[in-house]
Amino acid sequence: MDIHVGDILVMKKPHPCGDNRFLVGRVGMDFKIRCQGCGREVMVPRAKVEKNIRRVEREGRQLDRQELDRRPAPKKPDPEGERHV
Ligand SMILES: [Zn+2]
């Protein structure tokens, strides 16, 4: 699943404070996410985060799970070269 720093994750299971929206602060083996209700930061293993995502808000767009799981469409060659490693 394709998650970026700065994305808002809308979780199936809410934080104990009742909010279910989390801002992504770091991605990797563990994600660092900040609850948008109480501001608490938590480290959660990627597998657990991905299982719990309902949708993602990115740059004002709402991405549902199907969209996130879809393989990215092949892009035209980028004159500046491949940047996404
Ligand atoms: Zn919270």
- The closest alpha carbon to 65, from 76, 75, 56, 74, belongs to 56
How far apart are the CA of 23 and the centre of ligand 1, in A? 11
Type and span of the H or E element at 50: helix 46-52
How far apart are the CA of 59 and the centre of ligand 1, in A? 22
Type and span of the H or E element at 65: helix 65-69
8 Å CB contact between 3 and 57: no
Dmax over Cα atoms in the chain, in whole Å? 47
How far apart are the CA of 13 and the centre of ligand 1, in A? 11
How far apart are the CA of 14 and the centre of ligand 1, in A? 8
Residue 59 is which amino acid? E
> What's the predicted TM-score (pTM) here?
0.78
- What does the domain layout of the chain look like in residue ranges? 8-69
Per-residue pLDDT of the chain (85 residues; tens, 9 = 90+): 889 999 999 999 999 999 999 999 999 999 999 999 999 999 999 999 999 999 999 998 999 888 887 766 666 776 666 666 6
